[in-house]
Amino acid sequence: MLYLNPNAKLSPYPSSLQRVMNIETARQTRTWLQAWTGLRSGPTPLYDMAMLADRLGIGQLALKDESVRSPLASFKALGAPAALIRYILCKYKDQGMDPAKVLRGQYASTLASETVISATDGNHGRALAAAARDAGCRCVIVLHAHVSEERERAIADFGAQIVRINGNYDDSVNVAAEQATQNGWQVISDTSYEGYETIPRDVMQGYGVIADEIFEQDIARGHEGYTHVFLQGGVGGLAAGIASYFWEKLGDKRPALYVVEPTQADCLQQSAMLGRAAKATGSVDSVMAGLACGETSPLAWTFLESSIDAFITIEDHEAVTAMSALARCPDVPVVSGESGAAGLAGLCNILTQEIATGRLKIDGTSRVLLINTEGATAPSVYRELTGEDADDVLQRQRDHLADI
């Protein structure tokens, strides 16, 4: 389903929002994270998918590949670590800590008594567990009933204590908040709620690093920018982090910004329809585990309510089809997880509708940006859905890039 946002507008980036998230802080965060050995050196690839663009009937298609951001294989490797650094710097501000040294474990003795906690669908918890381990903190992760044992093991491998609950993601958020209050722990989450906005802001600011790299890479290759950008939904954190950067950088010349989410986890589309942060209308149980969120983050919504031009819901089978399309892409094979492929699935979805070439103006002149937000974060699920191992796709990718 496609819903055009009646409250979207082309205008300069509001100063009220700039005080919360801004390009300057995104660049500062990028500098801090460059010192962490948990991330790859340098920006993630920005691929030109010319043959896929031709097949889809659009002018240009670029794909930012976050699957290789780190061994965590997800963009989440930017958010939780960034927020953890800022939390530690704030709490221990009298000790003059160097932000670049926090995740190198140089303050581990000081931080040994610190415990951080979060709910997760998998990737955020894994990123927090990895960052906490390297900083020297204790980490507790709350998992809901739909998180697979495979994803649980991947988190536990970083030393996190796992708390299992019945219910869905939103239930796990509530349990994490309760556990933090009872034990004096600190929640590190990208989901905001009443009285809890600073850390979600810092998580979202970490995602702004992706946009900072994109602009830098486009300048280096002489690219003229994008007409349309597709962003994954979830609680809205990634979309807010990227959209706010584009909005501040380009003002009323920003591209059309679209958000894609599962039909059964349509909290952002419902928010647009109701004019406030709202809950999903469906079961929330989706193969797109990272986007299976039932409730919009209120803080993220303050950025999305006026910047997102349309909200697109897709079926699980559309995401699976997009995963396979990227794995076999003639431009460059890409390992894209269930949520990572949602942007391509959303683009393909609306290209079947007459409104695409009409009001949305997606045609042979369009320059479209997609972000592959994750790789095979659950290898067995990837194999089941695509019919091949992620390692085989990666080998095809290496062979392809070696021939260029």
176, 196, 216: which is the final residue of a domain? Answer: 196
Chain-centroid distance of CA 221 in Å reads 25
How far is the C-alpha of 327 from the C-alpha of 340, rounded, in Å? 12
CB-based contact 122:154 (threshold 8 Å): yes
10 sits in the region (left: phi over 0; alpha: psi -120 to 50; else beta) called beta
For residue 346, the SS3 value is helix
Active site residue 76: yes
Q: Which amino acid is at 32?
A: W
* pLDDT value for 311: 98
Are the C-beta atoms of residues 368 and 101 closer than 8 Å to each other? no
Residue 9 buriedness (CB in 10 A; 0-12 / 13-18 / 19+): exposed
Residue 131 confidence (pLDDT): 97
Residue numbers of the domain that contains 146: 76-196
Domain count, the chain: 2
Strand order in the sheet with 367-372: 2-4, 310-314, 256-262, 228-232, 367-372, 60-65, 46-48
Q: List Cα–Cα distances, 132 to 34, 140, 356, in angstroms.
A: 16, 10, 44
Q: Is 383 helix (H, G, I), strand (E, B) or coil?
A: helix
Partners of 164 in the β-ladder: 143
CA dist., res. 181 & res. 175, Å (int)? 10
Low-confidence ranges of the chain (pLDDT < 50): none
Please give the pLDDT value at position 146: 85
* Residues 191 and 288 placed together within one structural domain of the fold: no
Q: Which of the residues 65, 121, 134, 309 is marked catalytic?
A: 121
Collect all residues with Cβ–Cβ distance below 8 Å to 288 and sequence separation of at least 6.
262, 265, 316, 319, 338, 339, 342
CA distance 109 to 86: 18
Do 218 and 150 fall into the same domain?
no
Element (H, E) at 261: strand 256-262
From the candidates 64, 65, 76, 190, which is the catalytic residue?
A: 76
Q: Do the Cβ atoms of 344 and 370 come closer than 8 Å?
A: yes
Q: Does residue 219 sit in the same domain as residue 347?
A: yes
Asked whether residue 275 falls in the same domain as residue 141, the answer is no
User: What DSSP designation does 251 have?
Assistant: G
Which of helix, strand or coil describes residue 77?
helix
Q: Which of 196, 226, 255 is the last residue of a domain?
A: 196
Partners of 56 in the β-ladder: none
Examine the residue annotation and report whether 363 is marked as an active-site residue of this protein.
no
Determine how many CB atoms are found less than 10 A away from the CB of residue 73.
Answer: 25
In the beta sheet, which residues pair with residue 295? Answer: 279
Model confidence, pTM: 0.95
Together in a domain, 217 and 314: yes
Q: Are residues 211 and 245 in the same domain?
A: yes
3-class DSSP assignment, residue 14 = coil
Out of 196, 226, 256, pick the residue that ends a domain: 196
- Same domain for 156 and 82: yes
Tell me: do 385 and 262 sit in the same domain: yes
User: Do 309 and 329 lie in a common domain?
Assistant: yes
- CATH number, position 309: 3.40.50.1100
> Are 283 and 387 part of one and the same domain?
yes
**249 and 128 share a domain?**
no
**Are 358 and 258 contained in the same domain?**
yes
pLDDT (tens digit per residue) in 29-56: 999 999 999 999 999 999 999 999 999 9
Angle at alpha carbon of residue 193, lines to 140 and 249, rounded to 5°: 100
The predicted pLDDT at position 357 comes to 80
